[in-house]
Amino acid sequence: MKKQKRRSLIGDILGLIFAFLIFIIPFLFMLTNSLKDRRGANQMSLSLPDVFHWENYTEVLTFNHGIVLTAFKNSLIITAGAVILLIVTCAMSGYVLQRRRGKVMSVFNAVVMAGLMVPPAILPTISLMQGLHVYKTLFGMIMIEVALQTPFTIMLYRGFMSTIPIELEEAGYIDGCNRGEMFTKVVFPLLKPVTATVIILNAVNIFNDFTNPLYFLPGASNSTVQLTLYNFMGQFSSSYNLLFADVIVITIPMLILFIIFNKKIVEGMVAGAVKG
């Protein structure tokens, strides 16, 4: 037994060393360089800054009349809007798709499965959005994110529905619920755990999305945080201190989310990936 204890201690130490070298150093690198002056950061070393240049952060936040803050606002609107819509639409769909059988349902299920794999057809989408006058708008962007995350979210809800006993619903009918009340009063509250997962996973995906805003939301006025970061890459190509300050700033929301929901995220990943 003693031998095993020692072995696990060695495991702990090795694990920590490797984790530090491989996963923590890159974050320290971002942090320390975000606090140096331009010259210091451009040397790209891991050393601590001589003087802590906190003003890098104010400079990033006020740069270009606070475009980062505007971008934060936009990203939050898109993320919140899309997540709320996804919860409402996909909980309903997942519920029916799990409970009902038949030919129509297998078509729907096949489409959902295909939607998980197939990438969006970008230019026809832009063309269609122009026709609907929603191209380059936050509303259009929300719709795109909802459409793209729908298969995954339906899959999560459908998977979770299979763990909810149908007897609960039967009891509901006996109490005289109609099908609307059935869903809102009986089923939806039972979906709470998976809804938490849906919120977190979709929020992370949408907040960190770069590719879709790049195509569907070009232009400065509706920029998102990932787009501004990408643009800074060009503008601050010789000011790594500001670049990394921006990296840190836009990573903080995810860090907070992570600290609060650490366990849920992992559970959610597992639920989504394995049960599907």
Least distance from another protein to the Cβ atom of residue 35, Å = 15
List binders of another protein among 125-144 (CB under 8 A): 125-130, 132, 143-144
**Does residue 118 touch another protein according to CB under 8 A?**
yes
Nearer to another protein, 52 or 210 (CB): 210
Nearer to another protein, 146 or 191 (CB): 146
List binders of another protein among 52-91 (CB under 8 A): 64-65, 67, 85, 88-90
Give the number of residues in contact with another protein, rule: CB under 8 A.
Answer: 109
Separation between Cα atoms, residue 34 and residue 57, nearest integer Å: 8
Write down the H helix ranges in the chain.
Answer: 2-19, 25-33, 38-42, 55-99, 103-117, 122-131, 138-161, 167-174, 179-181, 188-190, 192-207, 211-216, 225-235, 240-275
**Does residue 15 touch another protein according to CB under 8 A?**
yes
Phi-psi domain of 136 (left: phi exceeds 0; alpha: psi -120 through 50; beta: other): left
Both tokens of 28, joined, read 């320290």
List binders of another protein among 162-181 (CB under 8 A): 169-170, 173, 179
Contact 50, 261 (CB under 8 A): no
Least distance from another protein to the Cβ atom of residue 179, Å = 6
List binders of another protein among 199-258 (CB under 8 A): 204, 207-208, 210-211, 214-215, 218-221, 225-227, 229-231, 233-234, 237-238, 240, 243-244, 247, 250-251, 254-255, 257-258
Question: How far are the Cα atoms of 110, 133, 209, 221 from residue 148, in angstroms, in the given order?
Answer: 16, 19, 11, 23
Report the residue from 59, 73, 93, 264 that binds another protein according to the rule CB under 8 A.
Answer: 93
List binders of another protein among 184-203 (CB under 8 A): none
Report the residue from 57, 72, 95, 160 that binds another protein according to the rule CB under 8 A.
Answer: 95
Least distance from another protein to the Cβ atom of residue 163, Å = 14
Give 85's contacts (C-beta < 8 A, 6+ positions apart): 142, 146
Separation between Cα atoms, residue 258 and residue 118, nearest integer Å: 29
Contact 161, 98 (CB under 8 A): yes
Separation between Cα atoms, residue 272 and residue 267, nearest integer Å: 9
Nearer to another protein, 116 or 168 (CB): 116
Nearer to another protein, 77 or 122 (CB): 122
Separation between Cα atoms, residue 206 and residue 80, nearest integer Å: 9
Which single residue is written with the structure tokens 């919120």?
199
Least distance from another protein to the Cβ atom of residue 45, Å = 7
Nearer to another protein, 26 or 52 (CB): 26
**Does residue 1 touch another protein according to CB under 8 A?**
no
